[in-house]
A and B are shown apart, each in its own frame.
Chain A
Amino acid sequence: MTFRQLQRRFLLYMVVVVIALWVLVPLALIALAAFTPRLELYQWPRPVLPSGFSTATMSFFLRSYGTLTSLRNSALVALLTLGMTLAVGAPAGYAVARYVFRGREAFRIGILMTRMFPTSLLAIPLIVTFIRWQLYDTLIGVAFIHTAMALPFAVLITSGIFSGVPKELEEAAMTLGCSRLGAFVRVALPLALPGLAAAAMFTFVISWNEVFASAILTVRNRTLPAQVLTSLEVAPLDFRFAGGFFMIIPALIFMALARRYLFQMWGGAISER
């Protein structure tokens, strides 16, 4: 390796490390804040590194009024969303992956377009509709709009996953006596399972993270982000830091598990090359 190449490589890794730190340092700092002794957060001058490790901030957050309930609500809404999204979207993903049919391209582009629609804003007119349908301030109501948000992504990811399962395997199973459904359940489904799990995790994260619609469509049955958002005006610093830290943990875990499928979710352009 020449000196020039060495120099370039050094420069490359310098840039890479700086960018990685830009992403990682704020995460480390909020974790640090969440475990800093409560009173130290208000001191001036405040040392960057806390004097000791304390769980008081976190337990204050978890014991605050409404936190645990909203946590449970968030988990329930996310699970409902996950179930509905996959039940509605996965068949469509399978159809796009397996069949050539009239209107497939139109359907695909339609899905890409809905992915771009500012769906969370629909929460506002939905207030009136939901009151009429008795869905206002219910967890299932929030899950309905979260499903509308997650659906295009679910269709895109699942169609990517089923495209990766060779059609020939299902056909072989059918020649060996499986029914159409049997071939799907016994052959395609097991092979697609890891990908479907990833799709499920992304759906969960979309719902878990959503703030705007949840805050608008609930009053007493708040999800965690809605609960944190509506307490911001009165919340002390430690509540906010602990809340911020707490919200990102499940998201980070799922992202780490499902990272390989990120590109199916966001790839795909409207205009053809």
Chain B
Amino acid sequence: MPRTPALRSLASEKALPYWLILPTIAYVAVFFLVPVVQALLLAFRTQDGQWTTRFLVRMVQDIQFVSALRFTLLLLAIIVPLQLVTALFIALLVNTRFRGSRTFLYICAIPLGISDLAAGLIWFSLFTQHGYINSFLYGLGIIERPIFFLSAQNTGWVLGSIVLAEHWRATAIVLVILVAGLQMISRDYLEAAEVFGARSWQRLWHVTLPLLKPSLQSALIIRTILALQMFAVVVAMGGRMVPVLAGEAYYWYYLYRNTNVASAYALLLMVISALLAWGYLRFLRPREVRP
């Protein structure tokens, strides 16, 4: 190809990409590093600059702390595996490319655009005292009086309702990541496996799932970290009946105007997020796929 002046200038634009990514790097540096440092200072330093663990102690000794930690981890342990299985099932279903599968995929992805607060309110309209589920059960003649799904006496029901709402709302994120991953798997591998006589479940277990592992890992990390921040769904459905860590961070500022303890909660959540992400990256490392 003849090297015209214009082409030469394209080749000599060595510095340009760095200029183009600079704003993003600068923005991330300011809006991530500044608050993280600030959070450390708020959580571990008093007004007059003394280092202290007072706020940490105050957080841990708070009556809501242990139950918030317990409920957060419990919800995480129930919701994440449930969503992973559901999303994987739907993704594999979509991947069979039956007629109408595109439409089906988009319908399943709808909740991705719905805010957690709106989702909480939607499910509140189902589970509340005179809500749809009670009306429906009454219509079928199963109950006479409404069941109080969302009351402090029935933490189990509240928890179950939150799990359903979160499952409805956030499975789509996992689904989209997995579908994107499945689309990148070359059909050649599956055809080769078929030629060698692998049954469909063998192809799934020995070919598709190992190749999907990076996407599964991403989906797990993203979903786990989002589940740790679970807040508006819980508040919309149960107020503070089922306390969660992000909710406590919010209340410590919103009700008590205590940025120190609120920051301690925020830091705790960041540390748990980082640990879990590290764990997933370390222990779910995709193995080399040997030919």
Contacts and interface: CB of A to CB of B under 8 A. Distances in A.
Interface residues of A, number: 104
B35 A212 contact: no
A99 B16 CA distance: 9
Nearest to A16: B104
Contacts of B93: 12, 15-16
Interface in B25-60: 25, 27-28, 31-32, 34-36, 38-39, 41-42
B232 A225 contact: yes
Nearest to A129: B38
Interface in A11-30: 12-13, 15-16, 19-20, 22-24, 26-27, 29-30
Contacts of B183: 263
Contacts of B235: 229, 232
A125 B263 contact: yes
Interface stretch (B123-131, B155-163, B201-209): B123-131
Contacts of B106: 256, 259
A12 B92 CA distance: 12
Interface in A166-180: 171, 174-175, 177-178, 180
Interface in B159-196: 168, 173, 176-177, 179-181, 183-184
A29 B113 contact: no
B277 A126 contact: no
B249 interface: yes
Interface string B91-120: 001001010100010111111111111101
A230 B236 CA distance: 10
B85 interface: no
Interface residues of B, number: 107
Given A48-B139, A124-B39, A225 B115 contact: yes
A140 interface: no
A40 to B, nearest CB: 9
B253 A121 contact: no
A70 to B, nearest CB: 13
Contacts of B9: 174, 180
Interface string B198-232: 00000000000001011101100110011011011
A128 B125 contact: no
A41 B130 contact: yes
A167 B38 CA distance: 43
A269 interface: yes
Interface string A227-264: 01110110001001101110110011011100100110
A209 B118 contact: yes
B125 A241 contact: yes
Contacts of A265: 176
Contacts of B116: 209, 211
Contact of A212 (B41, B96, B229): B229
Contacts of B222: 115-116
A254 B112 CA distance: 11
A118 B265 CA distance: 13
B170 to A, nearest CB: 12
B31 A99 contact: no
A92 interface: yes
Contact of B266 (A41, A121, A145): A121
B142 interface: no
Contacts of A243: 118, 121
Contact of B17 (A95, A117, A247, A259): A95
A151 B28 contact: yes
Contacts of B38: 125-126, 128-129
Nearest to B129: A44
14 contacts: A15-B93, A20-B107, A46-B130, A101-B14, A107-B21, A124-B253, A125-B35, A129-B34, A210-B115, A248-B122, A254-B113, A255-B110, A267-B176, A271-B281
Interface of A: 12-13, 15-16, 19-20, 22-24, 26-27, 29-30, 33, 41-48, 87-89, 91-92, 94-96, 98-99, 101, 104, 107, 110-112, 114-122, 124-129, 144-145, 147-148, 151, 155, 171, 174-175, 177-178, 180, 205, 208-212, 215-216, 225, 228-230, 232-233, 237, 240-241, 243-245, 247-248, 251-252, 254-256, 259, 262-263, 265-273
Given A23-B108, A126-B38, A241-B125, 7 more contacts: A16-B104, A23-B107, A124-B263, A225-B115, A244-B122, A266-B180, A270-B281
